[in-house]
Homo-oligomer: A and B are copies of this chain.
């Protein structure tokens, strides 16, 4: 997908990466522009020199969050799909050690403007492409199979984060891991 881990040390990049972290972990509506700017070491007034609206930042933050989550996951995986799945469907992901925007923001996206929704759609398609690419067996994966894996991964983490029963969450994530690897 063309991302790099290094962050350009510009204010704009600081704002985007701050937003990526705060929006995914706390939700778009629960984070004020002021929170993002404080986290980036700036103040409110400077925001509109970089973005025309909070929504425009949202779209950029989704892409940034996806890159960060992908980097975090792949770094620890040895580039094996089974490892990627293990890390993705882990309690650490549920607890927010890293944050896939596809799973953390899923039901927040529907209300937003088309720029945000298109961005989410594009990131989802990239996620599914990655499942194809990392598939070990060297043989092409059925599109339906890749989609099922994606839904079990993204949906599994999204639901696991919603519930407040840790023991049940473990069983749920375990069932999803089994399903994705089948």
Binding site for B on A (CB under 8 A): 26-27, 29-30, 102-111, 114, 117-118, 120-121, 124-125, 143-145, 147-148, 151-152, 154-156, 158-159, 161-165, 168, 171-172, 174-176, 178-179
Indicate if the CB atoms of B107 and A108 lie closer than 8 Å: yes
Taking the closest CB of chain B, its distance from the CB of A141, in whole angstroms, is 12
Query: Which of B121, B124, B148 contacts A176, CB < 8 Å?
Result: B148
| Copies of this chain in the oligomer | 2
Residues of B within 8 A of A174 (CB): 144
Whether the pair B178, A144 counts as a contact (CB closer than 8 A) is yes
In the complex, A165→B117 CA distance in Å? Answer: 9
B162 A120 Cβ-Cβ under 8 A? yes
**In the complex the two chains form, is B163's CB within 8 Å of A151's CB?**
no
In the bound assembly, the distance between CA atoms of A143 and B167 in angstroms comes to 14
Instruction: Tell me the complex Cα distance, A3–B103, Å.
Output: 31
Q: Beyond A147-B171, A156-B151, is A163–B108 a contact (Cβ under 8 Å)? A: no
Cross-chain contact B114 with A164 (CB below 8 angstroms): yes
Cross-interface CB contact of A154 among B104, B125, B155, cutoff 8 Å: B155
Interface pair A148/B107, CB less than 8 Å apart: no
B168 with A121: CB separation less than 8 A: yes
Contacts of A102 in B (CB 8 A): 159
6 additional A-B pairs beyond A110-B161, A125-B168, A151-B176, beta carbons within 8 Å, are: A109-B162, A124-B159, A144-B178, A155-B156, A155-B158, A158-B158
